[in-house]
A and B are shown apart, each in its own frame.
Chain A
Amino acid sequence: DSGVTQTPKHLITATGQRVTLRCSPRSGDLSVYWYQQSLDQGLQFLIQYYNGEERAKGNILERFSAQQFPDLHSELNLSSLELGDSALYFCASSVGGRDKETQYFGPGTRLLVL
């Protein structure tokens, strides 16, 4: 158990809908990362937050957005969903978002768009 929790574990929805994925980092970690794992794209970095502020953006679509709240949990919002958004979405956390730090991954949310 990494200490990172993600809800829900599974999500099935329809095209055009909007969903919210939730992540709680390990106790004491200030940095949260979101990654997407799909069969065709592999594991890709989406976005990083540090202590409530956006730190970096990766291959995140404009239909996707995220935020980190004062209690440090984070939410990833996916809107106008398409079939191709079906994937496993991971959240990871680290202490300060620095280069040598280990990122601890949650169990993921499996999203299926029908």
Chain B
Amino acid sequence: AQSVTQLGSHVSVSEGALVLLRCNYSSSVPPYLFWYVQYPNQGLQLLLKYTSAATLVKGINGFEAEFKKSETSFHLTKPSAHMSDAAEYFCAVITSGAGSYQLTFGKGTKLSVIP
């Protein structure tokens, strides 16, 4: 079964510093991968997705992620953290069966931005 693992349940960065949130996938076939963000008391918002086109995917709010098959990774990065980036981030993979497709989520990484 396809799954994702997010390394680090909490990450703290200083404002202006690089943000790196790690996600590794487990899949026997090329996966479709997603990053979602959840702000406090809100729903999930799509940041970006990989669907086997370009390996470097650019998303909203200055985030990007690179699909690396050799490392089975899809890490999320942003060059300069902003206070408004404080949120929980979820990596997800599409899992399929019998013509249906669902999202299987990692456990999430809570990002804190220190002023």
Using a CB–CB cutoff of 8 Å, the interface residues on chain A facing chain B are 2, 4, 33, 35, 42-45, 48, 50, 55-56, 58, 90, 92, 97-108
Contact = CB atoms under 8 A, between A and B. Distances in A.
Interface SS of B by simple majority? strand
Interface of B: 32, 34, 36, 42-46, 49, 51, 90, 94, 96-108
Nearest to B48: A102
Contact of A98 (B36, B101, B104, B107): B101
B43 A55 contact: no
A107 B42 contact: yes
Given A99-B32, A99-B96, A105 B43 contact: yes
A72 B103 CA distance: 20
A108 B40 CA distance: 12
Contacts of A92: 44, 103
Contacts of A90: 43-44
B49 A107 contact: no
13 contacts: A2-B43, A43-B90, A43-B103, A45-B103, A58-B102, A99-B96, A102-B34, A103-B103, A104-B46, A105-B44, A105-B45, A107-B42, A108-B43
A104 to B, nearest CB: 7
Contacts of A45: 102-104
A108 B36 CA distance: 15
Contacts of B51: 100
A102 B99 CA distance: 16
Nearest to B44: A105
Contact of A42 (B94, B99, B100, B105): B105
B16 to A, nearest CB: 30
A2 B45 contact: yes
A108 B104 CA distance: 18
Contacts of A103: 46, 103
A90 B105 CA distance: 13
A102 B49 contact: yes
A56 B44 contact: no
